[in-house]
Chains A and B, each alone.
Chain A
Amino acid sequence: MNIIYTDVLVIGGGLAGLRTATGVKERGHDVIVLSLIPPKRSHSAAAQGGMQASLGNSFKGEGDNEDVHFEDTVKGSDWGADQDVVRMFVNTAPKAIRELTGWGVPWSRVKEGDREAIINAKKVTITESKEAHGLITARDFGGTKKWRTCYTSDGTGHTMLYAMDNKAIEDKVETHERMEAIALIHENDRCYGAVARDLVTGKLTAYISKATTIATGGYGRIYKVSTNAIICEGTGAAIALETGVATLGNMEAVQFHPTAIVPVGILTTEGCRGDGGLLKDVDGYRFMPDYEPEKKELASRDVVSRRMTEHIRKGKGVKSRYGDHLWLDITILGRAHIEKNLREVKEICESFLGIDPAEEYIPVRPTQHYSMGGVRTKPTGESQTLKGLYSCGEAACWDMHGFNRLGGNSVSETVVSGMIVAEHIADFCDVEDSNIDVSSNTINKFIKIEEDKIQALVASKGGENAYELRDEMETIMMEKVGIFRNGDDLKKAVDELEALHIRSKNIQLKTSSKASNPELVNAYRTQMMLKVALTVAYGAMLRTESRGAHAREDYPERNDKEWLKRTITTWPDENQTLPTVSYEDLDIMSMELPPGFRGYGNDNTIHHDDSKKRQDTVDKVREELTQKGADRFEIQEALLKYQQNLPPKYRGKNERLTERLS
Chain B
Amino acid sequence: MSEIEQGRTLKISVVRFDPQIKNDTPRVETYSVTEAPGMTLFIALNDIREKYDNSLQYDFVCRAGICGSCGMTINGRPGLACRTLTSTLEDEISLAPLPVFKLIGDLSVDTGKWMRNMSETVETWIHEEVCPDSHYLEEKMEPELADEIYELDRCVECGCCVAGCGTARMREDFVGAVALNKLARFELDPRDKRTSDHFYELVGDDNGVFGCMSLLGCEDVCPKELPLQSKIAYMRRKMVAMKDT
A residues near B (Cβ < 8 Å) are 37-38, 40-43, 45-46, 55, 94-99, 101-104, 106-111, 133-137, 152-153, 155, 158-159, 162-163, 166-167, 169-170, 175, 177-178, 200-202, 229-231, 263-264, 266-267, 320-321, 340, 344, 347-348, 351-355, 363, 467, 509-511, 513, 515-519, 652-657, 661
Secondary structure of the B contact surface, majority rule: loop
Closest Cβ of chain A to B41, distance in Å, is 12
Residues on the B chain within 8 Å of A94, using CB: 134
State in angstroms the CA–CA spacing of A452 and B115 once bound together: 35
Closest Cβ of chain A to B21, distance in Å, is 7
Q: B20 touching A178 by the CB < 8 A rule?
A: no
Within 8 Å of chain A (Cβ to Cβ): is B54? yes
State in angstroms the CA–CA spacing of A661 and B67 once bound together: 40
State in angstroms the CA–CA spacing of A155 and B154 once bound together: 8
State in angstroms the CA–CA spacing of A177 and B105 once bound together: 16
Closest Cβ of chain B to A411, distance in Å, is 14
State in angstroms the CA–CA spacing of A496 and B62 once bound together: 29
Closest Cβ of chain B to A153, distance in Å, is 6
Interchain CB contact (< 8 A) of B105 among A55, A153, A516? A516
Residues on the A chain within 8 Å of B137, using CB: 98, 135, 655-657
Interchain CB contact (< 8 A) of B141 among A134, A155, A162, A167? A134
**Extra 14 A-B pairs, beta carbons < 8 Å, given A167-B125, A200-B105, A352-B83:** A40-B156, A41-B68, A42-B61, A94-B134, A111-B143, A152-B146, A155-B153, A158-B66, A175-B116, A177-B112, A352-B64, A352-B85, A354-B4, A516-B18
Q: B128 touching A109 by the CB < 8 A rule?
A: no
Q: B139 touching A515 by the CB < 8 A rule?
A: no
State in angstroms the CA–CA spacing of A644 and B18 once bound together: 54
Within 8 Å of chain A (Cβ to Cβ): is B40? yes
Residues on the A chain within 8 Å of B125, using CB: 103-104, 166-167, 169-170
Interchain CB contact (< 8 A) of A355 among B2, B37, B64? B2
Residues on the A chain within 8 Å of B124, using CB: 166, 169
> 8 closest A-B pairs (Cβ-Cβ)?
A134-B140, A38-B112, A519-B54, A106-B149, A98-B134, A351-B83, A109-B143, A166-B125
Within 8 Å of chain A (Cβ to Cβ): is B217? no
- Chain B 116-159, CB-CB to A under 8 Å as 1, else 0, gives 10011001111010011011111111110011011001101100
Within 8 Å of chain A (Cβ to Cβ): is B65? yes
Closest Cβ of chain B to A549, distance in Å, is 23
A-B pairs with beta carbons under 8 Å apart, 16 shown = A41-B69, A101-B132, A108-B146, A109-B140, A159-B153, A163-B126, A167-B125, A229-B63, A230-B62, A264-B38, A351-B65, A352-B85, A355-B1, A511-B55, A655-B137, A657-B137
Q: A653 touching B143 by the CB < 8 A rule?
A: no
Closest Cβ of chain B to A328, distance in Å, is 13
Q: A104-B189, A200-B104 are in contact. Are A136 and B138 (CB under 8 A)?
A: yes
Residues on the A chain within 8 Å of B146, using CB: 106-109, 152
Residues on the A chain within 8 Å of B60, using CB: 230
Q: B191 touching A513 by the CB < 8 A rule?
A: no
Residues on the A chain within 8 Å of B244, using CB: none
Residues on the B chain within 8 Å of A95, using CB: 134-135
A41 and chain B: residue at smallest CB distance: B67
State in angstroms the CA–CA spacing of A264 and B63 once bound together: 9
Q: A102 touching B136 by the CB < 8 A rule?
A: no
Within 8 Å of chain A (Cβ to Cβ): is B111? yes
Closest Cβ of chain B to A48, distance in Å, is 8
Residues on the A chain within 8 Å of B67, using CB: 40-43, 45-46, 229
State in angstroms the CA–CA spacing of A152 and B151 once bound together: 10
Within 8 Å of chain A (Cβ to Cβ): is B56? yes
Residues on the A chain within 8 Å of B134, using CB: 94-96, 98-99, 102
Closest Cβ of chain B to A367, distance in Å, is 12
Which residues of B, 1-46, contact A by the 8 Å Cβ criterion? 1-2, 4, 18, 20-21, 37-38, 40
- Chain B 99-112, CB-CB to A under 8 Å as 1, else 0, gives 00000110010011
A468 and chain B: residue at smallest CB distance: B50
**Counting chain B CB atoms within 10 Å of each CB, which of A96, A137, A229, A509 scores highest?**
A229
Within 8 Å of chain A (Cβ to Cβ): is B229? no
Residues on the B chain within 8 Å of A200, using CB: 20, 104-105
Q: B63 touching A266 by the CB < 8 A rule?
A: yes
Residues on the B chain within 8 Å of A263, using CB: 38
State in angstroms the CA–CA spacing of A99 and B64 once bound together: 29
Q: B1 touching A516 by the CB < 8 A rule?
A: no
State in angstroms the CA–CA spacing of A577 and B227 once bound together: 56
Closest Cβ of chain A to B110, distance in Å, is 8
Within 8 Å of chain A (Cβ to Cβ): is B206? no
State in angstroms the CA–CA spacing of A653 and B113 once bound together: 41
Residues on the B chain within 8 Å of A38, using CB: 69, 111-112, 115-116, 157
Q: A104-B189, A518-B55 are in contact. Are A153 and B150 (CB under 8 A)?
A: yes
Residues on the B chain within 8 Å of A40, using CB: 67-68, 115, 156-157
A137 and chain B: residue at smallest CB distance: B143
State in angstroms the CA–CA spacing of A38 and B108 once bound together: 13
Closest Cβ of chain A to B245, distance in Å, is 28
Q: B136 touching A37 by the CB < 8 A rule?
A: no
Residues on the B chain within 8 Å of A101, using CB: 132, 138-139, 191
Q: A518 touching B66 by the CB < 8 A rule?
A: no
Interchain CB contact (< 8 A) of B66 among A46, A153, A167? A46
Within 8 Å of chain A (Cβ to Cβ): is B196? no
Within 8 Å of chain A (Cβ to Cβ): is B192? yes
Q: A106-B150, A175-B116, A321-B37 are in contact. Are A513 and B21 (CB under 8 A)?
A: yes
Residues on the B chain within 8 Å of A467, using CB: 50
Q: B135 touching A109 by the CB < 8 A rule?
A: no
State in angstroms the CA–CA spacing of A519 and B134 once bound together: 47
Q: B123 touching A37 by the CB < 8 A rule?
A: no
State in angstroms the CA–CA spacing of A107 and B63 once bound together: 25
State in angstroms the CA–CA spacing of A654 and B135 once bound together: 5
Within 8 Å of chain A (Cβ to Cβ): is B59? yes
Q: A661 touching B83 by the CB < 8 A rule?
A: no
Within 8 Å of chain A (Cβ to Cβ): is B171? no
Residues on the A chain within 8 Å of B55, using CB: 511, 513, 517-519
Residues on the B chain within 8 Å of A511, using CB: 54-55
State in angstroms the CA–CA spacing of A595 and B20 once bound together: 58
Closest Cβ of chain B to A483, distance in Å, is 22
A177 and chain B: residue at smallest CB distance: B112
Closest Cβ of chain A to B89, distance in Å, is 14
A653 and chain B: residue at smallest CB distance: B135
Q: A351-B65, A519-B54 are in contact. Are A170 and B1 (CB under 8 A)?
A: no
Q: B1 touching A652 by the CB < 8 A rule?
A: no
Residues on the B chain within 8 Å of A661, using CB: 135-136
Within 8 Å of chain A (Cβ to Cβ): is B243? no
Closest Cβ of chain B to A534, distance in Å, is 24
**Counting chain B CB atoms within 10 Å of each CB, which of A137, A202, A266 scores highest?**
A266
Closest Cβ of chain B to A51, distance in Å, is 13
Closest Cβ of chain A to B128, distance in Å, is 7
**Counting chain A CB atoms within 10 Å of each CB, which of B59, B125, B147 scores highest?**
B125
Q: A45 touching B62 by the CB < 8 A rule?
A: yes
Closest Cβ of chain A to B124, distance in Å, is 5
State in angstroms the CA–CA spacing of A133 and B142 once bound together: 8
Within 8 Å of chain A (Cβ to Cβ): is B57? yes
A109 and chain B: residue at smallest CB distance: B143
Closest Cβ of chain A to B198, distance in Å, is 14
Within 8 Å of chain A (Cβ to Cβ): is B49? yes
Q: B154 touching A348 by the CB < 8 A rule?
A: no
State in angstroms the CA–CA spacing of A152 and B112 once bound together: 24
Q: A170 touching B123 by the CB < 8 A rule?
A: yes
Closest Cβ of chain B to A233, distance in Å, is 12
Residues on the A chain within 8 Å of B119, using CB: 166, 169
Interchain CB contact (< 8 A) of B138 among A37, A133, A135, A158? A135
Residues on the B chain within 8 Å of A104, using CB: 125-126, 186, 189, 191-192
State in angstroms the CA–CA spacing of A170 and B194 once bound together: 15
Q: B63 touching A351 by the CB < 8 A rule?
A: no
Closest Cβ of chain B to A520, distance in Å, is 9
Residues on the B chain within 8 Å of A110, using CB: 143
Residues on the A chain within 8 Å of B126, using CB: 102-104, 163, 166
